[in-house]
């Protein structure tokens, strides 16, 4: 358990730091790389939470596909690769205030409600098969909906990005 | 006591007939304008017919209880039910809404504002009608909230698409302001769900409005009530609009198309005051008593401030819009006194303001159509170029400034009267001060309205209009306006038509507040 | 391990994401921040799934990943379109909502 | 006989219907040239009804008096000694008078009272289950006003058919005359205070419409606006006063309130004081009392018959009527019975004085009359202030006739002299228009208070009231009254001189007005002579053996059922006071004449001789008139009083009124620009952005930028969450 806690500590620290880096860096490519770090950290967290399939998916979809998409986006919009002085808008104090307030109240509420509740340890470990069973039985309709959504998004993206 | 037969369907029909009309219209191609208009008119008139039925079938002896009740399951997960009901408080406002919509359809017959598209315009109007009717008869908080919000979007589009030059700004301002208020309001609703108790202290966990009203706050502490009330206050106060949340109103009114302004002034603003009377006051008596002096203060500030704002305007429509702030101040003052007479005055004021200001906005629209400007300094001699319109403006202005014998008086005078002797242990000194200030406000009202009338209607027409044909009132306008003018005079001379219907409800509300706050109800007469 | 450690991490990431959405001028960056927020939610779902011993948490995390992918696709397409039309993707230069 | 008293609602209803008929069908069905017939018919019917009502009322008073006397032995009502049905007619005047005095001053209920006829319908409006009725209250005071209003209105309707003939808005003119008549009648028979407010405001709006009748010209509309707004200012007082009364008694019923004040007396003194002060503000505006009188002279912008009807005879006495109607309230509030000076009497007296002073400074004949009206209204208010209820109502009654006659006479003059009202463009008209001249002189004598014209009797009663009215006298008011009596006679003589004497200074050939105008003039002139007979003091009639006809107004118009309760008393007539009053009036005329005579000079002697032939040899010397007038008459009267009053009027009150209007507009602009568009809008807008508030000020929120809205959204969410989590 201790090992897990230490691992979590390290992972969490990296994740939060990377997240902060992502929203503060002035270099857009760096931001993308920071996002990779955050997503990776989260994948590691999923492993800690015994959700290996999600962790795998996270790595495959996010780090593999979405990040590539982002980098393409950065490239296609000819964003300057180096430091951009005005990456942050003039209204950042308001944004920071909103985010702080929101974060603060969430943290307060969580501590207030869950305090030091331990994570249940004697639970079933759901394997990939369990997940797939669930998806294709209980959640078949949402699954189909997501499929259609993906299709729609695909078509939409093509339509939007098409030159004409 | 659920109704049976047609009665069980009457309110549902009243709410959804316009929506059905809108659905039918969607299926009709855009080019067939006449058919579209006929459908819209038919749907709104059918709704009005239901309203007339309700007027006759309503049991006036029992105006204090909900009638034509419907109670069906809706969203079980959150205990939200489909509950409709009609009592003496809802009835006048529902009928007002039902009357205004067909008039707006008739007025729009040849006045579809730029950029045209009668189909979309009328569909939005019908959706608005559904939302407004629903708000006035919903007896479940979630249902109320849904209807309350349904109204928002059509009006947003109406202003944003068919509005004046600055329409995007105005529509967005309107939208954001109201949404902001709604957010706080729904929070308060949910809070009510969780914390409202009955007298024994057991949690109610219900959105049923009549149960919450019956509990009258239960054993909730004054502080808690005040906080929940604050949320409702913001939600409804912005809609009213109360000073200082009124800044969306002049913009929205100025930019909105004529019919949009009419609906906005005549009915939408009433959703806020209705909410106060229907929800905020009876559910949270202690909260109401705690807030009442402040509501009263904001109300009288609104009265004077709105009037001063009017005096500064150079645009006719904006002036009328500002006058709404002042008039709704009288309504809110009546509500703030927590007395039956004050609440009666408030409801009368709502109806009267709906009729009168609706009429004034119609006039402003027609003036704009003829002169292509609303700059008061460029108008003049309306009595000469379009005498009938000038006289209608005169009657409306007189009604608006609270001339006895026309409807406006009965919203103002009893409201001022009620402030002499406020209920629920409120400070007499404070409210008597408000009373005098409000009375001074009537002078201002006369000032700006007569000033408007003098500049726009008296005198010779300005030379720049020489050679222009300024048409007098046409038949569509007559059709749309005559009922309003008749209503102004009728309610001015027979105020009992509204007071008699509302009285039971308002006495009940004031009594439950009095009982909850000071343990005494002096109005059991 | 505590339940809260994951939840708090999620909360922090979400707040950071909110900040990013509100403060960053670059359209791509805004989309990235949205990803961050979605991931924070995912973490919560998985953690709660474990706590309550149900598989639904993981299933919904999957759905969210899928939806997020779709959202990124469309979002980037929009950003690309904007860039083509305006030669800039600084979101605070767009005031389309004002018209 | 009581049918009309119980169905009095018909009386205002008929002109109201006439209003609608004229307005809706006047142009199309009836035809423009015939609308006046509708109006005249309607008012004629109403006049007949009013006469019937008056007869019914008198019968009723007689019946109730005699029945009380009959029942005296059976009922416990203590009838004053010597009064019984059999012997009442045979009593001599002295005893009769003494009996009255005892009755009024004493135990209350000792003298027979007549209940008013109240017909009401419940459920006009209601609150917390209490129904507020609508209905009519007919008593002597109502009947008196019914007679005045319908008579003057009828004559003005007839007169106008010629005077306003061919006007650009003949139909509207008659429509509003009808509406005004209806409103005024509605007002005088209001059963409750709310109805009173309704009538009060409706006559105001008719006044507005008729002052602004020729609304193409800016000054007319300005005057109309001024009138309406000034009245609105007073209406604050009316609203507040009515509300205080309602708050105190929980009813709007006028009769009930009056009774309750009588019963509760000093218990409610403070509330009544507050209510009286508030209501006085309303009286000041409606009845043109200082300092809200300035609208009345401006109101002369309306057609002259309107001035006669509304701004001389009827509407402007609404304030006086209202005081009379709620007299117990004022009596208690201002302690009229026991003080020797109070707010009402002071306002009335002062107004009478400055009004009379101002009348000297005018060249416009209508404005002279307007200020004269202000002055006479002040007289009435002063009379009420000193406790002389009957005197005030009596003066209201007589004044209506001779002042209407004067105004219609002025209209006739203007009709002849090419629509001018400037006295400098008149002169010498007495030969061209003999009827107008004679009636004008008769009315002037009545107004001046010369024996035996109507004004003499009513003015004398007012002075008597101030001299020996209640428990205490009002010496200051007596002095005011005497001075005003002198001034009134003087300025009216001046008007006569300028208008009818000297030589014609206008254009064209003046001519007498047609019969349709002069007949009403003569009727009014006759009334100006005989109206005084309606309330002759007993000693006068005693000498001719007609003492049964004494004090008719007092006997039949006084609402004894509550005036008794407050202990109002009637002073015995004083011969010497009457003589002093008459002497003062004669002196006023004499002084004015003297100045003309003394300054007879060598110029234009032949011309003057022409006038001399008419018998007024001392009135010549038109050449130096203005000069002399300014130097001597004005030197002694106008400079100290009129000039000061005029200056005060123009520079203080008007300025205050104007500045108040401007100030309101300026502050409106300021508030709008800086607070509304500046502070509030900005604050709201700034919420959406937090920055950028400097340069772009107003346009911060309207950036249309997604992120700003996002900030707002998330910020709100955070606030909501905080409320949810922490507070609840």
What values do phi and psi take at D580, rounded to 5? -60, -45
Is A116 inside a domain boundary? no
Q: Which residues of D touch A105 (CB under 8 A)?
A: 718, 721-722, 725-726
Q: How far apart are CA B273 and CA B345, in angstroms?
A: 12
A112 to chain D, any CB pair closer than 8 A? The answer is: yes
- pLDDT at position D627 is 37
pLDDT(C97) > 60: no
In a domain, A77, yes or no: yes
| Tokens linked to A74 | 């950065």
| Whether A137 and A78 share a structural domain | no
Residue D629 scores a pLDDT above 50: no
- D81/B372: higher pLDDT: B372
- D723 and chain A: CB distance < 8 Å anywhere? no
Contact state of A84 with C26 under an 8 Å Cβ cutoff: yes
What tokens does B4 get?
């049976």
Let me know if residue C88 belongs to a domain: yes
The dihedrals phi and psi of B70, each to the nearest 5 degrees, come to: -130, 135
Q: What is the pLDDT at residue A121? A: 67
| Residue C53, domain extent | 26-93
Q: What pLDDT does D645 receive? A: 46
Asked if residue C2 is part of any domain, the answer here is no
In this prediction, residue C98 carries a pLDDT of 46
Give the nearest partner residue to C46 out of A46, A98, A138, using CB atoms.
A46
Domain contains C16: no
> Residue A1's domain is classified under what CATH number?
1.20.120.1200
B413:D239 CB<8 A: yes
**pTM for this prediction:** 0.77
pLDDT at D328: 87
- Summarize pLDDT for B9-43 with one digit per residue, the tens: 889 999 999 999 999 998 888 888 888 899 999 99
Indicate the DSSP class of residue D217: S
Q: Does D717 lie at the interface with A, CB-CB under 8 angstroms?
A: yes
Task: Show which of A57, A82, A107 is a domain's final residue.
Answer: A82
Helix (H) and strand (E) counts in chain A: 7, 0
Pick from D703, D707, D710: which is nearest to C98 by CB?
A: D703
Lowest mean pLDDT among B223-227, D92-96, D261-265: D92-96
pLDDT (tens digit, 9 = 90+) per residue, B349-400? 999 999 999 999 999 988 888 888 888 888 878 888 888 888 899 999 999 9
Q: Calculate mean pLDDT across residues A48-55.
A: 86
Core vs surface per residue D476-511: b (16+ CB within 10 A) or e: ebbebbbbbbbbbbbbbbbbbbbbbbbebebeeebe
B198 burial (CB, 10 Å; 0-12 / 13-18 / 19+) is middle
Between A74 and D660, where is the model more confident? A74
If pLDDT is split at 50, 70 and 90, which confidence band does B98 have? Answer: very high
Does D601 have pLDDT greater than 50? no
Examine residue C98 and state whether it is found in any structural domain, yes or no.
Answer: no
D118-134 mean pLDDT? 79
Do A13 and A77 fall within a single domain? Answer: yes
Percentage of chain D beyond pLDDT 90 is 3
Place of tokens 């400070």: B427
- On whether residue A109 sits in a domain, the answer given is no
- Are A143 and A73 found together in one domain? no
| Neighboring chain A residues of C44 at a CB cutoff of 8 Å | none
Interatomic CA distance for residues D699 and D685, integer angstroms: 8
CA atoms of D581 and D484, how far apart (whole Å): 10
Which of A116-130, B191-205, B331-345, D645-659 shows the highest mean pLDDT? B331-345
Compute the average pLDDT of residues D345-357.
84
HEC secondary structure over D669-728? HHHHHHHHHHHHHHHHHHHCCCCCCCCCHHHCHHHCCHHHHHHHHHHHHHHHHHHHHHHC
Q: How many domains does chain C have?
A: 1
Question: Which residues is D118 bridged to in the sheet?
Answer: D137
| A122 in a structural domain | no
User: Could you give the CA distance from residue D428 to residue D498 in angstroms, rounded to a whole number?
Assistant: 8
Question: Number of folded domains in chain A?
Answer: 2
Q: How far is D724 from chain A (nearest CA, A)?
A: 10
Q: Give chain B positions within 8 Å (CB) of C96.
A: none
Chains with at least 3 CB pairs less than 8 angstroms from chain B: C, D
Top mean pLDDT of A133-147, B89-103, B243-257, D45-59 is at: B89-103
Interface test with C, best of B160, B162, B168, B170 (most C CBs within 10 A): B168
When pLDDT is averaged across residues D601-617 and rounded to a whole number, the result is 39
Give the DSSP H or E segment for B86: strand B80-86
Q: What per-residue confidence (pLDDT) applies to B429?
A: 86
D705 inside 8 A of chain C by CB? yes
On average, the pLDDT of chain B sits at 87
**Burial status of residue A1 (CB atoms within 10 A of its CB: 0-12, 13-18, 19 or more):** exposed
* Alpha-helix residue ranges (DSSP H) falling in B140-206: 141-150, 152-162, 167-195
pLDDT value at residue B396: 93
Region A31-45: what's the mean pLDDT? 90
Would you place residue B49 in the very low, low, confident or very high pLDDT band (cuts 50, 70, 90)? very high
Domain end among A20, A52, A82? A82
Which of B122-131, B306-315, D194-203 is the least confident region? Answer: B306-315
In chain B, the percentage of residues whose pLDDT exceeds 70 is: 99
Q: Which of C21, C23, C95 sits opposite D703 (nearest CB)?
A: C95
Q: Are residues A15 and A75 in the same domain?
A: yes
Is some CB atom of chain C closer than 8 A to the CB atom of D606?
Answer: no
D690 or D488, which is more confident: D488
Nearest to B359 by CA among B442, B258, B450: B258
Binned at pLDDT 50, 70 and 90, residue B215 comes out as: confident
**Residue B331 pLDDT grade (very low, low, confident, very high; cuts 50, 70, 90):** very high
A147 domain-assigned = yes
Tell which residue, B274, B286, B284, B282, has the closest CA to residue B332. B274
Rounded Cα distance between B438 and D243, Å, is 13
Q: Is A36 on the interface with C (CB under 8 A)?
A: no
**Nearest chain C CA: its distance from D702 CA (Å):** 7
Q: Say how far apart CA B473 and CA B245 lie, in whole Å.
A: 36
Q: What is the spatial distance between Cα A67 and Cα D395, in angstroms, rounded to a whole number?
A: 100
Q: CA nearest B165 in C: which residue?
A: C99
pLDDT number for residue B223: 84
- The Cα D598–Cα D588 span in angstroms is 16
Q: Do B308 and D202 touch (CB under 8 A)?
A: no
Condensed to tens digits (0 to 9), the pLDDT of residues D318-341 reads 999 999 888 888 888 888 877 777
Other beta carbons within 10 Å of B191: 19
Query: According to the model, what pLDDT value does residue D654 have?
Result: 53
Q: A63 and A8 share a domain?
A: yes
Q: For residue A95, give how far its alpha carbon lies from the nearest alpha carbon of chain C (Å).
A: 5
User: The domain that contains C87 carries what CATH number?
Assistant: 1.10.287.3510
pLDDT of D623 strictly over 80: no
Count Cβ atoms below 10 Å from residue B514 Cβ, excluding itself.
23
Considering the domain architecture, whether residues A77 and A142 belong to the same structural domain is answered as no
A6 interfaces chain C, CB cutoff of 8 Å: no
Whether residue A99 and residue C27 make contact (CB cut-off 8 A), yes or no, is no
* pLDDT at position B484 over 90: yes
What is the C-alpha separation between A53 and A147, in angstroms, rounded? Answer: 19
Q: What is the rounded average pLDDT of the residues D649-658?
A: 55
Please, what is the average pLDDT of chain D? 75
| pLDDT higher than threshold 70 for residue A61 | yes
Helix (H, G, I), strand (E, B) or coil at D253: strand
Domain residue limits at A22: 1-82
Q: Do chains B and A touch (3 or more CB pairs under 8 A)?
A: no
Element (H, E) at B254: helix B248-255
CB distance C94–D705 less than 8 Å?
A: yes
Instruction: Give tens-digit pLDDT for A101-115.
Output: 888 888 888 888 887
Residues A73 and A9 in one domain: yes
CA distance B156 to chain C (A): 13
Q: CB neighbours of A121 closer than 8 A, spacing ≥ 6?
A: C1
């Amino acid at each position: 358990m201790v090992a897990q806690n230490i691992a979590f500590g390290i992972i969490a620290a990296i994740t939060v730091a990377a997240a902060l880096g992502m929203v503060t860096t002035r270099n857009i490519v760096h931001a993308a790389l920071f996002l990779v770090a955050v997503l990776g950290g989260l994948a590691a967290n999923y492993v800690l939470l015994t959700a290996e399939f999600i962790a795998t998916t996270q790595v495959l979809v996010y780090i593999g596909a979405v990040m590539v998409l982002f980098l393409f986006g950065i490239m296609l919009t000819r964003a300057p690769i180096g430091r951009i002085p005005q990456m942050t808008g003039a209204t950042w104090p308001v944004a920071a205030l909103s985010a702080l307030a929101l974060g603060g109240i969430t943290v307060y509420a969580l501590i207030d409600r869950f305090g030091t509740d331990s994570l249940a340890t004697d639970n079933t470990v759901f394997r990939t098969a369990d997940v797939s069973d669930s998806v294709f039985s209980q959640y078949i309709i949402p699954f189909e909906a997501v499929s259609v959504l993906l299709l729609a998004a695909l078509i939409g993206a093509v339509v939007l990005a098409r030159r004409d | 006591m659920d109704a049976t037969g047609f009665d069980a369907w009457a309110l549902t029909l009243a709410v959804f007939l316009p929506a059905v009309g809108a659905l039918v219209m969607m299926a009709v191609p855009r080019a067939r304008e006449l058919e579209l208009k006929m459908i819209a008119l038919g749907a709104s008139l059918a709704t009005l017919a239901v309203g007339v039925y309700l007027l006759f079938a309503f049991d006036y002896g029992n105006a204090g209880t909900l009638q034509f009740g419907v109670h069906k399951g809706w969203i079980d997960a959150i205990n939200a039910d489909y509950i409709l009901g009609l009592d003496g408080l809802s009835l006048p406002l529902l009928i007002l809404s039902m009357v205004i919509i067909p008039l707006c359809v008739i007025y729009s017959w040849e006045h579809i504002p730029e950029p045209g598209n009668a189909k979309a315009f009328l569909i939005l109007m019908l959706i608005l009608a559904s939302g407004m009717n629903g708000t006035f008869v919903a007896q479940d908080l979630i249902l109320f909230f849904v209807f309350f919000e349904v109204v928002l979007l059509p009006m947003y589009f109406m202003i944003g698409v068919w509005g004046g030059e600055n329409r995007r700004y105005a529509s967005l301002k309107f939208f954001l302001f109201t949404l902001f208020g709604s957010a706080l309001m729904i929070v308060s609703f949910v809070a009510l769900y969780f914390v409202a108790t009955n007298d024994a202290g057991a949690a109610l966990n219900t959105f049923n409005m009549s149960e919450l009203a019956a509990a009258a706050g239960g054993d909730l502490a004054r502080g808690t009530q005040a906080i929940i009330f604050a949320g409702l206050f913001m939600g409804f106060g912005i809609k009213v609009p109360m000073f200082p949340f009124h800044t969306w109103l002049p913009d929205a009114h100025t930019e909105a198309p004529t019919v949009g302004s009419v609906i906005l002034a005549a009915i939408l603003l009433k959703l806020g005051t209705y909410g106060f009377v229907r929800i905020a006051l009876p559910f949270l008596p202690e909260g109401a008593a705690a807030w009442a002096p402040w509501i009263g203060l904001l109300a009288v500030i609104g009265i004077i401030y709105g009037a001063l704002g009017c005096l500064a305007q150079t645009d006719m429509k904006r002036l009328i819009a500002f006058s709404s702030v002042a008039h709704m101040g009288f309504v809110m003052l009546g509500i703030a006194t927590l007395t039956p007479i004050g609440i009666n005055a408030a409801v009368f004021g709502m109806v009267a303001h709906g009729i009168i200001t609706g009429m004034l906005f119609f006039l402003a629209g027609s003036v704009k159509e003829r002169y292509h400007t609303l700059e008061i300094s460029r108008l003049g001699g309306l009595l000469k170029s379009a005498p009938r319109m000038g006289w209608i403006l005169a009657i409306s202005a007189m009604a608006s400034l609270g001339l006895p014998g026309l409807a406006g008086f009965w919203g103002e005078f009893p409201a001022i009267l009620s402030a002499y002797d406020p209920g629920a242990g409120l400070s007499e000194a404070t409210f008597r001060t408000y009373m005098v200030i409000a009375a001074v406000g009537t002078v201002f009202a006369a000032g700006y309205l007569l000033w408007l009338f003098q500049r726009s209607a008296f005198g010779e027409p300005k030379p720049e209009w020489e050679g222009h044909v300024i048409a007098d009132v046409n038949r569509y306008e007559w059709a749309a306006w005559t009922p309003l003018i008749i209503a102004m005079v009728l309610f001015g001379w027979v105020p009992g038509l509204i007071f008699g219907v509302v009285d039971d409800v308002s006495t009940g509300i004031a009594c439950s507040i009095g009982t909850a706050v000071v343990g005494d109800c002096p109005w059991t007469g | 391990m505590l339940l809260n450690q994951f939840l708090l991490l999620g909360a922090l990431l979400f707040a950071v994401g909110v900040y990013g959405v509100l403060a960053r001028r670059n359209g791509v960056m805004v989309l990235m921040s949205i990803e961050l927020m979605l991931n924070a939610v995912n973490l919560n779902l998985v953690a709660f799934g474990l706590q309550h011993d149900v598989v639904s948490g993981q299933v919904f995390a999957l759905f969210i990943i899928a939806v997020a992918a779709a959202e990124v696709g469309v979002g980037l397409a929009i950003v690309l379109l904007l860039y083509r039309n305006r030669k800039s993707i600084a979101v605070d230069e767009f005031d389309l909502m004002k018209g | 006989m009581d049918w009309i008293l119980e169905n009095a609602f018909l009386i205002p209803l008929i002109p109201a219907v006439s209003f609608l008929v004229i307005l809706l069908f006047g142009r199309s069905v009836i035809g423009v040239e015939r609308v006046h017939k509708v109006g005249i018919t309607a008012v004629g019917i109403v006049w007949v009804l009013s006469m019937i009502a008056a007869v019914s009322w008198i019968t009723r008073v007689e019946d109730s008096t005699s029945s009380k006397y009959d029942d005296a032995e059976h009922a416990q009502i203590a009838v004053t000694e010597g009064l019984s049905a059999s012997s009442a007619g045979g009593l001599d005047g002295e005893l009769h008078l003494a009996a009255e005095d005892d009755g009024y001053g004493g135990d209350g209920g000792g003298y027979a009272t007549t209940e008013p006829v109240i017909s009401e319908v419940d459920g006009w409006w209601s609150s917390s289950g209490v129904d507020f009725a609508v209905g009519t209250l007919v008593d002597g005071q109502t009947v008196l006003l019914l007679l005045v209003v319908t008579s003057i209105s009828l004559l003005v309707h007839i007169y106008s058919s010629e005077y306003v003939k061919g006007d650009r808005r003949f139909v509207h003119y008659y429509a509003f005359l009808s509406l005004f008549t209806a409103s005024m009648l509605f007002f005088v028979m209001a059963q409750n205070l709310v109805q009173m407010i309704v009538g009060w405001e409706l006559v105001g709006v008719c006044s507005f419409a008729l002052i602004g009748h020729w609304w193409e010209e800016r000054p007319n509309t300005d005057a109309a606006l001024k009138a309406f707004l000034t009245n609105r200012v007073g209406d604050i007082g009316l609203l507040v006063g009515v509300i205080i009364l309602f708050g105190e008694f929980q009813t709007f019923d006028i009769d009930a309130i009056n009774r309750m004040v009588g019963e509760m007396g000093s218990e409610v003194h403070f509330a009544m004081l507050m209510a009286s002060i508030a209501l006085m503000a309303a009286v000041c505006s409606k009845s043109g009392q200082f300092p809200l009188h300035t609208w009345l002279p401006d109101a002369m912008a309306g057609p002259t018959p309107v001035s006669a009807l509304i701004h001389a005879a009827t509407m402007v006495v609404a304030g006086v009527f209202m005081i009379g109607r709620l007299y117990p309230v004022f009596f208690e509030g201002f302690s009229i019975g026991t003080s020797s000076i109070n707010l009402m009497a002071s306002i009335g007296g002062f107004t009478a004085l400055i009004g009379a002073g101002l009348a000297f400074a005018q060249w416009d004949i209508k404005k002279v009359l307007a200020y004269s009206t202000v002055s006479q209204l002040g007289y009435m208010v002063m009379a009420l202030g000193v406790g002389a209820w009957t005197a005030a109502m009596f003066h209201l009654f007589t004044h209506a006739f001779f002042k209407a006659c004067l105004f219609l006479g002025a209209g006739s003059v203007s009709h002849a002299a090419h629509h001018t009202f400037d006295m400098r463009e008149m002169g010498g008209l007495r030969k061209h228009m003999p009827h107008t001249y004679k009636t004008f002189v008769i009315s002037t004598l009545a107004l001046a208070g010369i024996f035996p014209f109507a004004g003499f009797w009513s003015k004398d009663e007012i002075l008597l009231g101030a001299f020996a009215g209640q428990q205490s006298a009002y010496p200051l008011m007596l002095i005011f009254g005497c001075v005003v009596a002198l001034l009134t006679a003087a300025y009216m003589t001046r008007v006569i001189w300028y208008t009818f004497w000297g030589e014609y200074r206008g254009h064209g050939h003046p001519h007498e007005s047609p019969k349709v105008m002069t007949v009403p003039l003569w009727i009014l002139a006759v009334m100006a002579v005989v109206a005084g007979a309606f309330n002759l003091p007993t000693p006068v009639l005693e000498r001719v053996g007609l003492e049964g006809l004494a004090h008719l107004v007092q006997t039949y118009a006084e609402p004894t059922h509550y005036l008794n309760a407050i202990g109002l008393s009637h002073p015995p007539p004083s011969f010497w006071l009457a003589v002093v009053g008459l002497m003062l009036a004669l002196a006023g005329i004499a002084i004015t004449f003297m100045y003309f005579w003394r300054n007879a000079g060598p110029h234009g002697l032949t011309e003057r001789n022409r006038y001399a032939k008419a018998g007024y040899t001392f009135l010549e010397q038109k050449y130096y008139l203005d000069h002399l007038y300014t130097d001597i008459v004005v030197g002694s009267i106008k400079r100290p009083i009129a000039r000061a009053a005029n200056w005060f009027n123009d520079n203080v009150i008007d300025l205050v009124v104007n500045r108040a209007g401007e100030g309101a507009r300026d502050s409106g602009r300021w508030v709008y620009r800086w607070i509304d568009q500046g502070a509030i809008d900005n604050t709201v807008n700034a919420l959406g952005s937090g920055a950028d508030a400097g340069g772009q000020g107003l346009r911060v929120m309207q950036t249309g930028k997604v992120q700003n809205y996002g900030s707002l959204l998330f910020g709100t969410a955070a606030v909501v969450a905080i409320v949810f989590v922490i507070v609840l």
